[in-house]
Structure 1
Amino acid sequence: MKIAMVGSGYVGLVSGACFADFGHEVVCIDKDQGKIDRLHDGIMPIYEPGLDALVDTNVKAGRLSFTTSLAEGIKDASAIFIAVGTPSRRGDGHADLSFVYAVAEEIGESLANEAVIVTKSTVPVGTGDEVERILADSGTQHRFAVVSNPEFLREGAAIGDFKRPDRIVIGAEDEFGRDIMSEVYRPLFLNESPILFTSRRTSELIKYAANAFLATKITFINEMADLCEKVGANVQDVSRGIGMDNRIGPKFLHAGPGYGGSCFPKDTLALLKTAEDYDSPTRIVEAVVKVNESRKRAMGRKVLDALGGVDEARGKKAALLGLTFKPNTDDMRDSPAIAVAQTLTDAGVEVSAYDPEGMDLAQPLMPEVKMCDDPYEAIKGADATVIVTEWDAFRALDLSRVADLANAPVLVDLRNIYSPEDVRSRGFTYASIGRE
């Protein structure tokens, strides 16, 4: 089957490469000529483990290609995926659907055969209805169906998530759409991946509901971590204790500096706006958004406390290890590190930083922060070393070397990757999240 993927960003490129690896013929389409040129040269626009090799293999096999021409790319395609960005609209928090609708209009004008148009982008309830209307108004003479097929990819583990999904959600209104999508995902039938067919609007809401629920779990355990610090309990044991209940489960119960990234912040906001539009308030999600935003600055204040308080911190130096919102990605969108760095620099603290993949994207977001070539360069002369993102490279730091290089042996562990007893036995002042 020929598949067209409109949008060659994170979702589009990963999905397109994986579909090609299943044996489909895939064309990835993007209006950014520079991005397409780099892809032709084997240069990935994002960092995702294993993606460069996957793309290279399927390009060489003739199953994966790239173009800037939508009309050329969708020709003879049975499934046309829309995988363009839907960022939060400036000023009101609604999802910006202008890219989705522009693509739908261009597809309608260029469609040369019957096809299923699939919204892979994360979109609010009712977007598929509008896409269908745009296509109908385009005057196309070819049969089409509009289907919702949300993605559930974790950055840093996206290829595995795509090839071994815990579920595939397809929102289709007719047999034509369901039949084509069944053929698209037929290679996964062998893995017995569960496919859930729903109405289109239900499928659109599932994506937002899933992300809002996960964001709620993260925010809940972060508030429990604060309580643990007050009462002398251990949040890691609390997480294990409640996570062993199979009604709750252990995932997304790791206390930290708050959630960030490309999905949770914008999707929770978009869900709030949808709920407002339909006069159905989502009070729990409102609280999650508010608490998460305040938590990021609170983590900066935690570092200031480790530096002796706001008055004593001015003129001191902090080293931030990890800048991306999570490890194994270069994504800086809504990363807690941004708020932590801003809180520190606002208090007159000199900040140095190191991240294995994110510094190029981080530098414009935090111009006052000095980017370093390795963690030990960042730590040199620091009055506090702060672990912000749990990259594997930071899990076994040479603490003796850290103590020698730093101005003071102070470690603030915002991801709880070290044992308090071990670090303190080496002469460090140690602060973590939700632990005594």
Structure 2
Amino acid sequence: MKISVIGGGYVGLVTASCFAYLGHIVQIIEIDSKKADLINQGIPPIYEEKLEEILKQTAGKNLSAQSHYEGLGDADIIFICVGTPPQDDGSADLKYIISASKSIGAALKGSKKYHVITVKSTVPPGTTESIVMPIVLELLGNGSNCVGFCMNPEFLREGRAIDDFLHPDRVVIGGSSEEAVRVVQEAYEKLDAPVITTSLKAAEMIKYTSNAFLATKISFSNEIGNICKKIGINVYEVMKGVGLDHRINPYFLNAGLGFGGSCFPKDVMALIRLAEKNGEDPVLLRSVIDINERQPGRIVQILNERIGDIRGKNITVLGLAFKDNTDDVRDSRSIPVISELLEHGAVISAYDPMAFESMKKIFPGINYHTNAGDALIGADACLVLTEWPEFSKLNDEFNLMKSRVIIEGRKILSCSGIEGVCW
């Protein structure tokens, strides 16, 4: 099939690369010409495991990128993969969705080929029907019979997105017609996964609900972990016993600093605002956010209890990305931790295998190192904030510290003499 992907960001690039890997002819439309050039050279502009390997196999063959909409009329499916960042009140900003819809409608005007315009961006329920469809159809005019509309949410975990795309738990397709759904389903025919077909609104809501539920599991685990720490119980022993219940499962029960990244925080807030707009009071969802926002402060509180006043103390921070296997620091729990440390006058040394360049843009004044050992020299305490596998091998490096006070926000360390934020 001929597929066009609007947006060469995280979701768009992974989506386009994987569809090309499956044998489709894929065109990425990315307004940043420098990013488009990198993609055409087989160089990923973001870090994602296995992405570079797939780009090298497909770029210049059946995958290409451009910064204009020429040739869009050849596409069987057009995936909208643009960002939906939060507005000041937490609701989804749909300006990029609107812009992409206008550009698609203008580019397809006069086309006689049948196209399926498919939203993959995370959007509030009703967006495809009330915003994307009217804009495109108005611009098409007499050509409105040549298009169908679908909503096909993505369920990609950063750091594991390629595997998630190629081995999905399910493929969800909401459609305006059976024909539109059939076309999108055909694009996924090489994947072994159940296909769930729904209305457009239901497909949009499935994405929000999935992320909100996973975020709820994390905040629930953290609240239980905070209680367990007070009474001397290892929360990981508790959750191991809880997670083996098939009705619950063990995933997303790891207590720690809370969730971050580009999806969970913004999607839960957007769902809260959607509920409020429709006259509902989302008490549980507000609590999920509240617990998550308070959790990073707990590790600083423990630090104060262990070493006293931290003003002028040398604190090492290991882990800056919001999770392992990515360089993404969006809503990373390390940001509020570092902010609070700086407010208290700490001197910070930091190390992360991937994310230090991204974090430099936020905190240019702290000391960044290229390995954990250098970051630990002379430290009064160490906070481990990201679950990078290489941190599990650390042991002798901690002997370089002035005092061996080690507190982790993710349970990754295997050495002795450590303490967890809620265990």
Bin of the TM-score, shorter chain as denominator length: over 0.9
Aligned 1:13-92 pairs, distance under 5 A: 13-60=13-60, 62-72=61-71, 74-89=72-87, 91-92=88-89
Aligned 1:156-195 pairs, distance under 5 A: 156-188=159-191, 191=192, 193-195=193-195
Q: Match for residue 9 of structure 2?
A: 9
Q: Match for residue 390 of structure 1?
A: 387
CA drift of 1:370 comes to 1.2
CA drift of 1:373 comes to 1.3
> Does 1:364 pair with 2:361?
yes
Instruction: Specify the code of the residue in structure 2 equivalent to 1:401.
Output: E
- Of 254-263 and 30-39, the range deviating more from structure 2: 30-39
Instruction: Specify the code of the residue in structure 2 equivalent to 1:206.
Output: I
Instruction: Specify the code of the residue in structure 1 equivalent to 2:7.
Output: G
Instruction: Specify the code of the residue in structure 2 equivalent to 1:16.
Output: A
CA drift of 1:43 comes to 2.3
Instruction: Specify the code of the residue in structure 2 equivalent to 1:201.
Output: K
CA drift of 1:366 comes to 1.7
> Does 1:134 pair with 2:131?
no
CA drift of 1:299 comes to 2.5
Aligned 1:98-109 pairs, distance under 5 A: 98-109=95-106
Unmatched 5+ stretches in structure 2: none
Q: Match for residue 418 of structure 1?
A: 413
Match of 2:397 among 401, 405, 413: 401
> Does 1:292 pair with 2:292?
yes
> Does 1:219 pair with 2:212?
no
Q: CA 1:162–1:2 in 2, change beyond 3 Å: closer, same or farther?
A: same
Aligned 1:201-212 pairs, distance under 5 A: 201-212=201-212
8 Å contact kept, 1:117–1:146: yes
Instruction: Specify the code of the residue in structure 2 equivalent to 1:68.
Output: S
Q: Match for residue 375 of structure 1?
A: 372
Q: Match for residue 281 of structure 2?
A: 281
8 Å contact kept, 1:306–1:384: no
Structure 2: distance between partners of 1:324 and 1:144: 41
- Identity, in percent, stands at 41
8 Å contact kept, 1:147–1:172: yes
8 Å contact kept, 1:2–1:25: yes
Question: Helix, strand or coil: the match of 2:142?
Answer: coil
Q: CA 1:401–1:136 in 2, change beyond 3 Å: closer, same or farther?
A: closer
Instruction: Specify the code of the residue in structure 2 equivalent to 1:336.
Output: R
8 Å contact kept, 2:6–2:12: yes
CA drift of 1:392 comes to 1.0
Q: CA 1:315–1:145 in 2, change beyond 3 Å: closer, same or farther?
A: same
CA drift of 1:164 comes to 0.5
CA drift of 1:234 comes to 1.0
Question: Helix, strand or coil: the match of 1:423?
Answer: coil
8 Å contact kept, 1:225–1:255: yes
> Does 1:433 pair with 2:412?
no
CA drift of 1:136 comes to 1.4
CA drift of 1:343 comes to 0.8
CA drift of 1:431 comes to 1.7
Q: Match for residue 427 of structure 1?
A: none
Unmatched 5+ stretches in structure 1: 425-429
Report the TM-score when normalising by structure 1.
0.93
Q: What's the Cα RMSD here?
A: 1.2
CA drift of 1:37 comes to 1.6
